[in-house]
């Protein structure tokens, strides 16, 4: 089957209804477009587990905070189609803002889905206040529109993955969340649509984020489990042009901070290089 692009909710619903009637399973990959190999790996996974793969391409205005890069976020639907098709995607759902939020001018009138405060007052949620409300709201809408059996999310956005898994459990969505590994450039830099903003000079500085995480992992593997010491090692590996926002050690299943590395500890960071905000993380094993 070749790729189709659908812009309207009603049209997508009808197509999905037909597939469901035929007993076909559906996997959804939500994205904001500007697709790269990281997104593609999610699509390949989705294609391998379900009969029909739907990828959404939607730059969701309500997950951007004031002053963030919503207006300049890269919109590249033509090249996105090529990436999606090569990954076996059947349908790209690319709605307009008006299609998703017909009354966005009256933002306060929108019903929102919000994760618990204590899980968003840390890491990315702390600096991006309201971000995860916007994410959970759009993902809920996409779940209701597409009604997938599976939804694939990348471990690149580790706090998002954790909160979506919790939302699905708490709100009884009949959807299996499939976590997909973080994909990096050969240099180590985590793939991100925002890497496009980086100059050559900034890219060099950005490389120190993964370098810091790898140094932490190496030290942890060498037997140093105290996160305070690992934190210090991370700091010493960061380029002077990196402005660190956070470097945290949390448990993968609870997202509570840990003082000692144990089974499935996540070491996650966010930082600015110039005005580009980047995130990265690594799983530490005992």
Binding site for ligand AMP (CB under 6 A): 31-32, 38-39, 41-42, 153-154, 156-157, 180, 182-183, 190-193
Interatomic CA distance for residues 147 and 93, integer angstroms: 13
Smallest gap, in angstroms, from Cβ of residue 60 to ligand AMP? 8
Minimum distance, C-beta of residue 182 to ligand AMP, in the bound complex (Å): 4
Q: Looking at 36, 39, 47, 131, which residue is catalytic?
A: 39
Nearest residue to 278 (alpha-carbon basis) of 149, 165, 180, 188: 188
State how far the alpha carbon of 106 is from the alpha carbons of 38, 80, 253, in Å. 35, 31, 37
The span from the CA of 184 to the CA of 114, in Å, is 30
Which residue number, 190 or 198, has a Cβ lying nearer to ligand AMP? 190
Active site residue 36: no
Please, which residue, 30 or 227, has the CB nearer to ligand AMP?
30
Residue 153 vs 197, nearer CB to ligand AMP: 153
Closest distance of CB 109 from ligand AMP, Å: 25
Q: Which is nearer to ligand AMP, 38 or 95 (CB)?
A: 38
Is the Cα torsion angle 61, 67, 72, 76 positive or negative in sign?
negative
* Alpha-helical segments (H) within 182-246: 200-221, 227-237
Q: In whole angstroms, how close is the CB of 181 to ligand AMP at the nearest point?
A: 7
Strand partners, 283: 266
Residue nearest ligand AMP, Cβ-based = 154
Listed in order, strand segments (DSSP E) in 97-175 are 150-154
The catalytic site residues sit at 39
């Amino acid at each position: 089957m070749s790729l189709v692009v659908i812009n309207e909710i009603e049209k997508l619903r009808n197509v999905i209804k037909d597939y469901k009637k035929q007993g076909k399973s559906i996997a959804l990959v939500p994205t904001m477009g500007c697709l790269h190999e990281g997104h593609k790996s999610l699509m390949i996974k989705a294609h391998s587990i379900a009969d029909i793969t739907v990828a959404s391409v939607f730059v969701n205005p309500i997950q951007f905070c004031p002053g963030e890069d919503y207006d300049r976020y890269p919109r590249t639907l033509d090249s996105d189609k090529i990436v999606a098709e090569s990954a076996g995607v059947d349908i790209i759902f690319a709605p307009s803002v008006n299609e998703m939020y017909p009354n966005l001018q009256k933002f306060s009138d929108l019903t929102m889905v919000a994760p618990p405060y204590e899980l968003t007052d840390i890491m990315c949620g702390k600096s991006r206040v309201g971000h995860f409300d916007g994410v959970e709201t759009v993902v809920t809408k996409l779940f209701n529109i597409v009604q997938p059996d599976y939804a694939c999310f990348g471990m690149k956005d580790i706090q998002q993955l954790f909160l979506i898994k919790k939302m699905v459990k708490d709100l009884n969505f009949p959807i299996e969340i499939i976590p997909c590994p973080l994909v990096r450039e050969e240099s180590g830099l985590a793939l991100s649509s925002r890497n496009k903003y980086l100059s050559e000079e900034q890219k060099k500085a950005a490389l120190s984020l993964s370098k810091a995480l790898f140094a932490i992992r190496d030290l942890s593997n060498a037997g140093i489990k105290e996160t305070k010491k690992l934190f210090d090692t991370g700091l010493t590996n960061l380029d002077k042009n990196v402005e660190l926002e956070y470097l945290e050690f949390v448990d993968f299943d609870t997202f509570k901070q840990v003082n000692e590395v144990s089974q499935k500890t996540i070491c996650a960071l966010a930082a600015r290089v110039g005005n580009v905000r980047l995130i990265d993380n690594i799983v530490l094993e005992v």
